[in-house]
Chains A and B, each alone.
Chain A
Amino acid sequence: MVMILSALNGCASRPVPAVDQRLIALGQERGASAEQLRRGRELLVTACAYCHTPVYPTSISMERWDKALPRMIEKAQLHAADEADIRAYIIAARATEGGSSH
């Protein structure tokens, strides 16, 4: 049982960053509100998680996010405003780790 749990834990995905003061500040510098960032993260860990584990913001390039997001928004039957919130969160989260927003 310990071995199984260890294996499961070893294969676990990295949790996406929380919306803390630093992330909010970096988001606001890029024109996003705190509420928008919280909503973006919430959508990433709920709507996206129905089909797959949430993708960590820096685990793929922003170019890949730009390609994947519109397709996933359509598949999950979300709206343009949802896409904007998720994108704002991803850009701010990438900035906390020095990632590019482009």
Chain B
Amino acid sequence: MCIHQALAARLTGTLSLAAISAIVMLAGPLRSAGADDRRFTFVEESRHHPPAGGLEFEQGILWGADAKEDSKFERLDFRHEIEYGLSDRIQVALDALEWHWQKDAQGHETKYDASGAEIKFRLLDPVTDVIGLGFKTEIEIGRESLHWENVFIVDKVIDKWEFCYNFVIEPDWEGPRYFKYEDSGGELANRFGVSYELSPAWFVGGELIHEIPLPDWKSGEKQNLFIGPNFSYRGHNWAITTTALFLAMGGRDEAQFKLQTIFEIDF
């Protein structure tokens, strides 16, 4: 067994342990906890979810442009998601539709990518507990790819500040034929976010994304580091959050600039 397979096996073990821990902790007495809108777009927060019984629609748009190997590269990713609060600390979501428009040296295309489902648990609350802990797992199934994203969330709200860290394990399977996934690989990522509350409606901060691509679970591809500012505004039953990320280091096929906006509406 090579070191990468051993790593993959260890990650699977870690995921199983996390899932068991989540179930054990959630089986305990539930304490009432609140829900909140986003402060970040790339970084996941443990307390961002609709309240118990509440519905939220999220519209995400990610614009990426100007790859080093293709200056004409431009891509827009659209995500339409419906979230539901199962309890004060469990959220499920349906990623109804993910599609993209892309332009590059070869031309342009508009294509459906995937649909998916996710579940998110909040184990400890970042406002009332010493530290917030959460876990999100999401499966996206497309005609030519299957992604399984697992996000471990550690965050803390200190007065007007919020600090958030994610460790992401994302195995994926791909193949050129419909639903025949032949190649398996994955990606690890570290995500950091800091946000400051200017007023109850306005938040500003920054996000840092460190991606470690592992094609065939073998290292070798260049790691990517994105960093940039963000802001969030909250209306009565809606919120908008935007992050602009710049590629500090990374592969030549990566967009030099990314702008992600997520629009939330509560029902």
Contacts and interface: CB of A to CB of B under 8 A. Distances in A.
A8 B36 contact: no
A50 B47 contact: yes
Interface in B152-195: 158-161
Contacts of A52: 197, 199-200
Contact of A50 (B127, B197, B199, B236): B127
B160 A50 contact: no
A-side interface mostly? loop
A8 B156 CA distance: 14
Nearest to B54: A77
B34 A53 contact: no
Nearest to B158: A8
Nearest to B52: A77
Given A49-B127, A51-B234, A13 B200 contact: no
Nearest to B236: A71
A50 B36 contact: yes
A47 to B, nearest CB: 6
Interface size class of A (residues with CB under 8 A): 10 to 19
A12 B34 contact: no
A46 interface: yes
Interface of A: 8, 11-13, 46-47, 49-53, 55, 71, 75-77
26 contacts: A8-B158, A11-B159, A11-B160, A11-B161, A12-B159, A12-B160, A13-B159, A13-B160, A46-B128, A49-B127, A50-B33, A50-B34, A50-B47, A50-B127, A51-B34, A51-B36, A51-B37, A51-B200, A52-B197, A53-B159, A55-B200, A75-B236, A75-B237, A75-B266, A76-B34, A77-B51
Given A11-B161, A51-B34, A75-B237, 6 more contacts: A12-B160, A51-B200, A51-B234, A52-B200, A53-B160, A76-B34
